[in-house]
Structure 1
Amino acid sequence: RDANARWGGADGWAKKRLTRTTTRAGYRTCAIDARVDGSDDAKRQRATARAALEARTRAVRESEGRDGAGTLARCTIAFGEPGELRRAMLALGEDLEKFDVLALEPTSERAFASACANKHADVVSVGAGRRLRYKFTASAVRAATGNRISFELCYGEALRDSNSRMWFFANASALARATRGGRELFILSSGAERAIELRSMYDVVNLATFFGMTEKAARAAMTTNVHAMLAMCKRRRDAAATDSVVERMDASA
């Protein structure tokens, strides 16, 4: 399962080729990711989210009757301050509820602590291809674990240039240590924008052993851990929908 195929920076044909290549690489599930910048205006944030939702609808329609990867919709909100996250979630409104996965990508110490404590988030995505402005503190990691939030590394960041590769291995090693070798609530995704950035599970497992993961933990980070994360996503969405129905019933009583 690839929990992060980025739906940006490519034309329509390249995007179709990306989703098709996930199937050939052995992935049974692909999440189309809309990356929303918390500092953008509300109109642009909504446009980004809706484009990914429409892409998911088209991909599902095109795959009907054919064997291949299941397609999900994911929203990643990148933010540097907790206030940016609150504004982005308010701006997205009901559109946010239509996504299968909500990921947060913090870019500061305060944002990282906020992401790990968020009750609505499914994933904390680590931008490992650059110098991080935060550390994986024990208190924040415990908060994420308590909220059943998964940490994510995107291996595509190790493939782009030598500087990104250097930071990726440094940050990935630090995250692996903070999560006990990535044995639980840890997922590996591609973060791919182009088909050429996708790798098979066997290649990714080999890569993961270089930053402190065992082969068993690395395989789980692309299979059973992703399955568990998606199951938790569904439970969160179902619970939120139930709460919404109850609130409407109470309001009309």
Structure 2
Amino acid sequence: MSVFMDLNLSFTADKRVLQSLVETAAHRECPVCLCLQEIPTPTPINKLIDRLPIVQGRSRPIRVLNRLTVVMSDSSHFRPNAVEYRSFDLLAVRPTTEKLFHAACMLYDVDIICICVTEKLPFFFKRAPVSGAVDRGVAFEVSYSAAIRDASMRRYTIANALSLMDTCKGKNVILSSAAEKALELRGPYDITNLGLLFGLSDGDAKEAVSSTCRSVLLHAESRKTASGVIYTVKSSSEPGSQQGAPSDSRVTVFILINNP
């Protein structure tokens, strides 16, 4: 299993609050956390925090990235060729209509699709667009901090998460905090328990705060710098291999093609 990650921490201009958020994330063993930033260019983290805290149980400091989340109520809100988007490490969208959700799953070049957890969704998840997003490597995000703040939001969070899991079967799901203050952060094992409440299996819940998050980061890197091609070739076994070994093996080759 990969290291634990929280891919959604709310940005605040209050340096003291931001420092507390990052330090708590490091103490909770979350070596990667994201600060939400407004367009235009995000502020470098070294100008906001003088010294990054060391991740608990490790010798290196926490890694902080910048993320842009576009809340979409109209297709014009997402500008795929916008130069400003390149300043952010992760690109996420939160569609508010079924049509925009379908477009985000099938067309938009993003890393994360956020599921609204503060109100009842005005549409149902359909298997075709959800499967399309999974095939393209786009992750669905469910945030848990709203469920901590308010009882009604807790009901919406659980209901919307269960609806998503029923459609995607736990594939390509990440669990994040969207925390605005340190008290809203939870440890990775507490989050996996929340994942069970959201309809994830034990294994999928653990991956939702670790290996799936790493896949999101790799997807973001390839989206910004290159496109990939994967193919499998058959090769003969080497002479002197053990008796009973298969006569051939398959080797998977991954090629990166730089964008012009």
TM range (shorter): 0.7 to 0.9
Select 1:82's aligned residue among 75, 78, 82: 75
Q: Does 1:7 align with 2:17?
A: no
For residue 224 of structure 2, what is the aligned residue in structure 1? 237
Q: Does 1:212 align with 2:160?
A: no
2:29 to 26, 29, 33: 26
| Distance in 1 (alpha carbons) for counterparts of 2:40 and 2:150 | 31
Give structure 1 regions of 4+ aligned residues with deviation exceeding 6 angstroms.
none
- Rounded to whole Å, the distance in 2 between the matches of 1:59 and 1:216 is 36
- Counterpart of 2:141 in structure 1 is 152
After TM superposition, give the deviation of residue 84 of structure 1 in Å. Answer: 2.2
Corresponding residue of 2:123: 134
8 Å contact kept, 1:103–1:124: yes
After TM superposition, give the deviation of residue 57 of structure 1 in Å.
Answer: 4.6
Deviation of 1:108 after TM superposition, in Å, equals: 1.1
Letter in structure 1 aligned against 2:88: F
Q: Please name the residue that 2:238 is paired with.
A: none
Aligned partners of 1:149 and 1:3: how far apart in 2?
14
**Greater fraction of residues in strand:** 2
Give runs of aligned pairs for residues 53-202 of structure 1, distance below 5 A. Answer: 53-58=42-47, 62-63=51-52, 67-86=60-79, 89=80, 93-180=82-169, 182=170, 184-202=171-189
Q: Which runs of 5+ in 2 are unaligned?
A: 228-256
SS in structure 2 of the partner of residue 112 of structure 1: helix
Compare the two structures and name the one with the higher helix fraction. Answer: 1
Equivalent-residue separation in structure 2 for 1:59 and 1:186 (angstroms): 30
Matched residue of 1:121: which SS?
Answer: coil
Matches of 1:67 and 1:108 in 2, distance apart? 42
Give me the whole-angstrom Cα distance separating, in 1, the residues matched to 2:74 and 2:135.
Answer: 22
Among all aligned residue pairs of Structure 1 and Structure 2, give the percentage whose two residues are the same amino acid.
26
Partner of 1:49: 39
Distance 2:123 2:45 in 1: 33
TM-score by length of 1: 0.81
- Counterpart of 1:234 in 2: which secondary structure? helix
Matched positions, count: 223
Listed one character per residue, the Cα deviations across residues 19-38 of structure 1 (whole Å, up to 9, x for unaligned) are 1110011101111123xxxx
Provide the rounded CA distance (Å) in 2 between the counterparts of 1:202 and 1:212. 16
